[in-house]
Amino acid sequence: MDRNQHSVYLLNYHLVMVVKYRRKVINDEISEYLKHRFVVVGQAYGINLQEWNHDQDHVHVLFRATPHTEMAKFLNAYKSSSSRMVQKTISRNQAISLEISLLDTKLLLN
């Protein structure tokens, strides 16, 4: 349980990011990079990564956040920075696939 001055909270989220058209473009290298970007961007929004799992066409993320976390802003910042950085760092063919099939997200509140 986490605490503020006047409250106690436990906010666990399950985020599922699915590659557009379910294209099989996520390998271990891309998954590790996306995970690293999630941690880096998440620090600015008070988000703590709990668990990360992936398949070739989707990623499951379990994370914790504070009540003041602006989830929409975080997700937009994460998706845009991870897409931009993957295009710069991953080989050209994989980057083209990811650019075409940018991640769609679904967020489930536990």
**Number of alpha carbons in the 13 Å side-chain half-sphere of residue 98:** 27
What pLDDT shows up at residue 50?
A: 98
pLDDT at 75 over 80: yes
Average pLDDT over residues 41-63: 95
What pLDDT shows up at residue 35?
A: 95
Per residue in 87-109, pLDDT tens? 666 655 555 455 444 455 555 55
What pLDDT shows up at residue 29?
A: 86
Instruction: Enter the tokens of residue 59.
Output: 């990623």
- When divided into structural domains, the chain yields a total of 1
| Domain span holding position 9 | 2-109
Instruction: Give the separation between CA 90 and CA 37, rounded to whole angstroms.
Output: 14
Residues, the chain: 110
Per residue in 20-51, pLDDT tens? 778 788 889 889 989 999 999 999 999 999 99
Average pLDDT over residues 15-19: 87
Query: For position 54, which CATH number holds?
Result: 3.30.70.1290
Average pLDDT over residues 61-90: 86
What pairing do the DSSP bridges indicate for beta strands 103-109 and 11-19?
antiparallel
The pTM of this model reads 0.77
